[in-house]
A and B are shown apart, each in its own frame.
Chain A
Amino acid sequence: MNRGVRVTQTSTETKEAPAAPPRLLDNRQLRIAAGLVVVVGAAVALMYLFGGQPSGLLTQSLITGVLLGGVYALVSLGLTLIFGVLGIVNFAQGAMLTMSMYIVFFLATEWGLNLYLAAALTVPVMFGFGWLVQSTVLNRVMGDSTHERPLLVTLGLSLLIINVLLMVFGGRPVSVASPVEGSINVIGALVDVPRLIAFGGALAVAVALTLILRKTTLGLAIRAVAANDVGASLVGVNVKRIYAMTFGVGATCVAVAGGLMVSFTSLVPSAGEQFTTLAFVIVVLGGLGSIPGALVGGLFIGLVQTVGSLYLPGSGSLLLVFGIFLLVLFLRPQGLFGAKS
């Protein structure tokens, strides 16, 4: 049987030059990003001029905010990826972050490993954990367009992780010292080196994730499943396997985030909980399922939180975060980078 491909031009249309391959951001997204930069830039300029804060303090807050935002973005990337591909709202994202930090803590204190080596080892462990959760539990309760069951499973998973951590490690705060200490001067602000490393790591993971999604066949399959799971299965993509891989990648994001931030976190079993809420805000703000949205949203919320705390001390800055969140929901419910539905 001849199944070779013969070349038959059946179309009568004239040939044009092939269009350029798609870019990371389309024009609309670039405009939104540019708009956001202008708004944030203007707000920052106003604060320097009329904010009533010493400019050194303001610079310090801005830099800290951006660095914090990088870590937020990383946690949110995993969340937005899992939502975009599986349609699952992963309530266990924060608990998985805590879990990664405890694994790093365990490896660093019990095995005496270097913090960053321990963090690197945590990555495959968490990928395996995410893969296992999806393929053994979540894959069974998905389908039939019910969102409640997977949602309840991730909520249960979150409680399970937190309580197992409490059982094993106790509720006393612990910490891991970073092998790199000290701080350096970044345009007038003092920055802890571990925080700088965390920010760099977050950016590196974001770039790697984007490249995987754009350039590899796995990424192609993940995007296909996200776009249309039935269509993907028709062209021979094992959808459940892609689901498991995606959940694993989502868990990998928190593993990297956990490993990079554990040295400046007071670690208790509930440490990750605030990140679940913040990551939700960021993901909805950026647009559900949008990777640039999670990045920009993360940086933005990081900035709002630290700069806001100059004016509203304590947890008052969270008030500002949720205020902005509500405003975005009113004005642009699909999120900054979300497609209009």
Chain B
Amino acid sequence: MSILKLEGLSKSFGGLRALRDVTVEIPEREFFGIIGPNGAGKTTLFSVIAGQLGPTSGRVVFDGQDITGWSADKVAGAGLVRTFQLMRPFESMTVLDNVSIASHRRFRSTAKSRDHAAEVIERVGLSQYLNKMSGTLPTAGLKRLELARALALEPKILLLDEVLAGLVPTERAPIIDLLRDIHRDGVTVMFVEHIMAAVMALSERLLVMHEGAELTLGVPEDVVQDPRVVEAYLGEDF
């Protein structure tokens, strides 16, 4: 059964057509990768799905429910959670508080939401920073915090926007392990990424976007052989 259906999604900013008729169906528990050159519409696609932007036309169906036009917080509360490429921590608040806000959407009691937040923080490996201000975290820590906040909402599907960007290779490996782990627990993952090694290792299917539209969609091994993909994105040397 598909957990997310995008039906003819388009988004225009004035004369710029950032998304053109994107139609995709994501089965439950899929690890779904998205690649494409800068400006291909990947982040816009996430924003439209997650309710930050309303589509110009088309529908978003999540878990059998039409969520087109829902506000971002309502979408997040329903279990469709995105992270941002540029992390958005609440800097003047502790790591625990950052995550507690998200847990609170699930647990009405403050004590329970804090306990849950602490568990999630431990899971992403940030326990030693529990009461530190989130603004003091290093980049890798901020990435983990962003994941923790998303996980605290107990998502059914996670939309990850370049979660590995800005990390050195040694920092990437544990995050990739963590993503695998989250996926293994039953969360559907859609992710935009430029680090091709990670894309190839994680994606079950891969969507290539170009100029706001689908260029091709398929198994990663096939997709990267596609001459159009090589020309538009990967380059001859890949």
Residues of A within 8 A of B (CB): 1-16, 18-22, 216-217, 220-221, 223-224, 227-228, 230-240
Contacts and interface: CB of A to CB of B under 8 A. Distances in A.
A150 to B, nearest CB: 19
B133 A22 contact: yes
B93 A223 contact: yes
Contact of A19 (B72, B84, B132, B178): B132
Contacts, number: 139
A5 B153 contact: no
B89 A3 contact: no
A10 B125 contact: yes
B92 A3 contact: no
B120 A18 contact: no
Nearest to B89: A231
Interface stretch (B4-12, B179-187, B196-204, B225-233): B179-187
B48 to A, nearest CB: 14
B125 A21 contact: no
A311 B84 CA distance: 58
Given A11-B125, A11-B174, A20-B131, A220 B104 contact: yes
Given A217-B104, A233-B72, A239-B73, A11 B88 contact: no
B185 A234 contact: no
Contact of B119 (A7, A19, A20): A7
7 contacts: A5-B119, A8-B123, A8-B178, A8-B181, A10-B124, A220-B93, A234-B72
A21 B131 contact: yes
Interface in B203-231: none
A1 B90 CA distance: 31
Interface string B40-81: 000000000010100000000000000000011110110001
B24 interface: no
Interface in B28-43: 28-29
Contacts of A20: 131
A216 B186 contact: no
B90 A228 contact: yes
A221 B93 CA distance: 11
A233 B76 contact: yes
A20 B133 CA distance: 11
